[in-house]
Chain A
Amino acid sequence: MRVPCVAAVPAATAVLIAAVAAASGAMADTAGPAPPADTASTAPRAGQVVPGYPFRFPRDHFGHPEFESEWWYYTGNLFTASGRHFGFELTFFRRARDLAREIDAAQPSAWDLDQVYLAHFTITDTGEERFVVGERLNRAGPGIAGADPERRRIWNGNWSVEWRPGDEARPAQVLTAMNGDAALHLVLEPVKSVVVHGREGVSRKVADDPRAVSHYLSFTRMAASGRVAIEGEEFAVTGQAWMDHEFFSDYLSDDKVGWDWMSVQLDDGVDLMLFGIRDAQGGYGPDTFGTFVDAGGGAHPIEPGGVAFRPGRRWHSRATGAEYPVEWQVVVPAFDLRLDVRPRIDAQEVFTGHGILPAYWEGAVRFTGERQGRPVTGVGYLEMTGYAGKLDIGGIGEPAPGTSPPDP
């Protein structure tokens, strides 16, 4: 759940995504069919996170332009037949904002900046200790980027996720992405059905702030198979992937600096989503949350404060100067779980130099530990934000080091 993006968003606001607005909350995709009536509106953005939100699938797997922010995160651990490990991240962000249409309100253009899409694509090559990062920024434009329920597609240029028709409870998703140095083509087949985090469809981020909420969905375990190409070499791979989808409208929270999040896929069939929001002192207080998904797919919320995050060894980023705790110990007493977290490689910082989003660390990790007294191992992804210098939560003032491109 990367949500705490709450925190991040303001910072991002200054930069990216900050984009745009949506006087017409419509997906500005002229070629596509008209958006559902409830999302198309010329009124101010109406999207608010509410308890009891009536999820409808597959519709709710796609875009909600009436909400300000939305994203789809695909991460996973892949292996070749000989056991060589690769990690991947393919993320689509959407951001909407109201346009000041002083030119001509009567003449909407497909190029209006009411919906802007950012995407990140990374490949971790553990064997060669390589980490390749790509970034895309586009407006919705005439079909340049979008998240369209009719086309069953989420895309930014030629990076895309196509949702195959068929089993709507466990829809297969096809990922395609290519960058200068790397390419990815994967078919993901959910092993478990979609999980709605939180209670009554609302995932809370800050214990004492009822506005810090989102709608948060995950496919916590998907079988992945396909191809990874890196620097001209191509590999057939299989493995496990995870998908997060969140949408919400902004609010500010000024005493938080960042968050730590992890997806855990244990070999006994259990999956966990865990996160904590840090304050300026580096503490979490009651602001740690999570979801326990049993082997059968049953989701159980972890109560606020129910996760203990203990940072271990730190890695120093030469690009941004940030110190990331790349090793952790996490404890979830309610489920009698203790895990040690180790990165596949240390250097998995997502830093593009474009300054669109602040730098963050998002990488493939391994888990070892004990659950209910029995040893367990697992794979997953770790995300750490707010370490690349002091993140200015208010979104005002100086951008954090690591958010601006170096001077040419």
Chain B
Amino acid sequence: MARAVVLFRLIVRPMAADPVRALLTVAAVALGVAVIVAVDLASEASMGSFRSSLESLEGSASYEITQVGGIPETVYGDLVRLPKPLAFSPRIEGFALLPETGEQVPLFGVDLVGDAMPGTAGAMPRPDVSELIEGPPVWVGASLGVSPGDALELIAGDRRLVLEVRGVLDPLRTAAGRFVVMDIALAQRLLGRMGRLDRIYVYTRGEERDWRVVLAPFLPPAASILPAGTGTEDGRRMLSAFRWNLRMMSYATILVGAFLIYNTISAYIVRRRRQIGIVRAVGASRAMVQAAFLFEGAVFGALGVAAGLVLGRLLAIGAVDTVGQTVSSLYVSSTPGEIALRPWTIVIAVVSGMGVSVLSAWWPAREAAGVAPTEAMAGAALDYNVRTASRRSTAAAVVLALLAAACCLAPPVDRIPVGGYLALVCLIGATAMISPRVSLLVLGISGRWLAAPFGIIARIAARGLVASLGRTSVIVTAMAVATALIVGMAVMVGSFRETVVDWIEHRLQADFYVSPAGRGSSSTMSEGVAARLAAVPGVIDVGRYRTYPIRYRAIPATLGLADVALYDRHSGIRFLEGPAPEAIWPRLAAGDSVIVSELFSYRHDVHANDTIRLPLGADVVELHVAGVFYDYSGERGFVIGDRNRLLRYLPDPRVSTSGVYLEPDADFEASREALVRAVSGLDVVVTPSRTLRERSIEIFDRTFAITYALEVIAVLVAVLGMAEALLNLVFDRRTELAQLRMHGASMGQIRGLILVQAGLLGLAACLLGLVLGVAWSQVNLLVIHKQSFGWSVQLHWPVAFLAAALALIFVSSVVSGLYPARIGARLNPVEVLRGE
């Protein structure tokens, strides 16, 4: 009963009396939780489709066999004849472009005759053989939205054709999956994989043993046999670093919310010291008081989580698009799956929302428990004793900053830069600790300066803030963290963008790039295309570039076969290790030398003059590393060698991309038309490198689009907090304000006073945020990015953007003072003073 009274007097009544502030706090938590939920849902949904398309046709396979450049298909014949209780299923894998929607979907070629027998692969279509001859038909994933009997037009490799849809496959019974399945013979032709298989699945029957040992003697030395699903696992790991980055940003948002809850509850306690004293005087224990305020934090948390889940689900709809586009432009062709609220997402939301709320209520609640019963009689709205600007907190800030530096030295865990993230947390802690001192400094200096233009009001404003430093510094911290998020991201993204733009400028040296219309990493076109291009007048060189997905020490990478002879004249590759490029090219052309990208070098600790062993075609080849080059094209490391040399190991002459170089004075438009004419009839695309450049930048910007959204939400949360803090100030200082009015201050002056306070808080926050943000960006670039992506980024200051962002934050902080200023100005001084 007593508990109920305490709860009612201390919590329920004040909350009910002032629902606006309670709502602001709940809104702050809700926004934080919503961001976490949205990011989690979006990244999960964008992963979903990737998972289903590959795995869906895998069935219960135990192993998968792959080989750089494809497995010679005769190996398949050898395997199926082995007198072992095993079954096998071959795959041709590639991508098809659906011209109707412009969508790129995975294309699988499967043995629709052999696998039609039950007991082998999972969910295969089982057509009659005659159907396959008369068709040829295709089967499609369930979410492609076509029905049996429809005609499906698709472009694969450099061909375009119309096939009849015979059935819809939904192997995982998820109504998901956007892919096309056809018979292996047709897929081989379309994708130019004659004589080769991309994957062989192995199904074991009964007998448990390591069949890899048994099968190895029947495979080419360069083939690898791994537990099934390894390929999907690679993709998943690739995406996880990306998802971690997003997650971390969403957690930063809720951290901003944490400062707000701390602030709100502290403010309540100050205002309710009298009531606290009363309930203590009538017998409530310290523990009861503390529990009451913790309960309040929990209520904010619970309401925030509930609202945040709903809001997050809504935000996810927008976020899925953005994240999905990033995932497909950077990693794999995938289309978002269903947005499903998983239990795990709810757990994360509850834990982060409730946890942050209760934790941030902890200190204020302890403070409240410390109120002596006699204080209730003191009457005055004393600010509680602020020791925050003590030496101790400054020392703590220094220690935390040093700790942050130490964290930066830690190596990544499973390619997730845990140390970097910890450093960010430490930096935020340091900011919180140093915030009162910085605020004092700002207020001290600005109080003096502002006296001239704004008169006595400015001084009073600054002093008023100093007097309530305990709470204002918290709000400054919250605002500073939000600002730092923007500054940090701006510097990071700005530097990164500049670096990438510069790299693209250098890398794309050709005037046009020609590639198969159904362009996936694995689409190729016949060698004849290059010959046709070379015959166009005005063309001086045509480069042929072919890529193969490879695996080096179990990590996926890309092998590129390039016409190195052309690099002599046109290369835009820049090296970070190794001799001058002029010395590198002849080496590549002369022997088994390759160059590797920075990422590859970083991941495998491979440097210029080292030797790497790669399985190529039928052999395992020793390759000398001639140099390490800058590359920002993605998540995979690159190994590039001379086409003519490496064709000895990988004799497939098909080409992934051709670069076309024009004579310096050639007419661009005329050449373009001539090139398009030269390849007419083939489904290949001629792209000017200018377009390619623009498109790359576009992809880059789209990748970071969601981070802008997160930053905006963080600032929004902080501005909400600012408004709330100023409302508190107005409430606490209402006597003071009333006295000012009685002494002749106009309503306008009171309004000005509060707006100046808002501005001062904004200023302190901007300063602190700028410092923290710069530190943040460095951690991001030097630790987090390096560890998760292996890129070195040249630092670039986006000065204009920063100035604009800081100005905007400052202005929003002033704007957040408008409503409190109105309330303050409208106080009836007579009533207020009588009430006291």
Contacts and interface: CB of A to CB of B under 8 A. Distances in A.
Contact of A18 (B76, B83, B128, B190): B128
A17 B194 CA distance: 25
Interface string B113-145: 110111100000000111011101000000000
A180 interface: yes
B113 A97 contact: no
A18 B73 CA distance: 25
Contacts of B195: 30, 110, 142
B80 A144 contact: yes
Given A141-B77, A143-B77, A109 B188 contact: yes
A178 B85 contact: yes
A104 interface: yes
Nearest to B78: A143
A17 to B, nearest CB: 8
A111 B133 contact: no
A404 B183 CA distance: 22
A141 B205 CA distance: 23
Interface stretch (A42-50, A60-68, A154-162): A154-162
Overall SS of chain A's interface: loop
Contact of B114 (A13, A97, A112, A138): A138
B76 A103 contact: no
Contact of A31 (B77, B83, B190): B77
A104 B190 CA distance: 9
Given A19-B133, A158-B81, A137 B185 contact: no
Nearest to A18: B130
A16 B129 contact: yes
Contacts of A178: 83, 85
B83 A143 contact: no
A20 interface: yes
B113 A137 contact: yes
B161 interface: yes
Interface string A16-48: 111111000000011100000000000000000
Nearest to A13: B130
A325 B567 CA distance: 81
Residue among B76, B82, B117, B205 with max Cβ neighbours from chain A (10 Å): B117
B189 A15 contact: no
B189 A104 contact: yes
Residue among B83, B183, B185 with max Cβ neighbours from chain A (10 Å): B185
Contact of A103 (B82, B114, B186): B186
A109 B185 contact: yes
Contacts of B134: 100
A158 B188 contact: no
Nearest to A135: B117
Contacts of A136: 117
Contacts of B83: 158, 176, 178
Residue among B76, B128, B133 with max Cβ neighbours from chain A (10 Å): B133
B111 interface: yes
A11 to B, nearest CB: 13
Given A141-B77, A143-B74, A111 B184 contact: yes
Given A20-B129, A143-B78, A178-B83, A116 B113 contact: yes
B84 interface: yes
Interface residues of B, number: 36
A30 B74 contact: yes
Contact of A19 (B78, B130, B184, B190): B130
Contacts of B130: 13-15, 18-20
A113 interface: yes
Contact of B161 (A103, A116, A139): A103
Contacts of B189: 103-104, 107, 109
A175 to B, nearest CB: 12
Nearest to A108: B194
A144 B76 CA distance: 7
Contacts of B77: 29, 31, 141-144
Residue among A104, A143, A144, A354 with max Cβ neighbours from chain B (10 Å): A144
A345 interface: no
A137 B111 contact: no
A397 B184 CA distance: 30
B76 A142 contact: yes
A97 B133 contact: yes
B91 to A, nearest CB: 12
Contact of B113 (A103, A138, A155, A158): A138
Contact of B81 (A21, A99, A143): A143
A173 to B, nearest CB: 16
A113 B134 CA distance: 11
A100 B133 CA distance: 7
Nearest to B186: A103
A158 B80 contact: yes
Given A157-B81, A158-B83, A137 B114 contact: yes
Contact of B185 (A29, A113, A138, A143): A113
Given A103-B186, A155-B81, A158-B83, A354 B117 contact: yes
B789 to A, nearest CB: 40
B417 to A, nearest CB: 46
Contact of A141 (B111, B118, B128, B190): B111
A157 B82 CA distance: 8
B440 to A, nearest CB: 77
B113 A113 contact: yes
B632 to A, nearest CB: 38
A17 B114 CA distance: 13
A103 B161 CA distance: 9
A143 B76 contact: yes
A138 B79 CA distance: 14
A229 to B, nearest CB: 11
A144 B185 contact: no
Interface string B374-390: 00000000000000000
B80 to A, nearest CB: 5
Given A15-B128, A18-B128, A157-B81, A141 B133 contact: no
A227 to B, nearest CB: 12
Contacts of A13: 130
Contact of A180 (B73, B113, B184, B205): B205
A109 B129 CA distance: 16
A141 B186 contact: no
B116 A137 contact: yes
Nearest to A99: B133
Nearest to B117: A137
Nearest to B84: A158
18 contacts: A18-B129, A19-B113, A19-B129, A20-B129, A31-B77, A99-B133, A100-B133, A103-B136, A111-B184, A113-B133, A116-B113, A139-B113, A144-B77, A144-B80, A144-B114, A158-B84, A160-B81, A180-B205
Given A19-B113, A107-B189, 13 more contacts: A14-B130, A20-B130, A30-B73, A31-B74, A100-B133, A109-B188, A113-B129, A113-B185, A137-B117, A142-B74, A142-B77, A143-B76, A180-B205
Closest 7 CB pairs of A and B: A143-B77, A111-B185, A142-B73, A19-B129, A31-B74, A142-B77, A109-B185
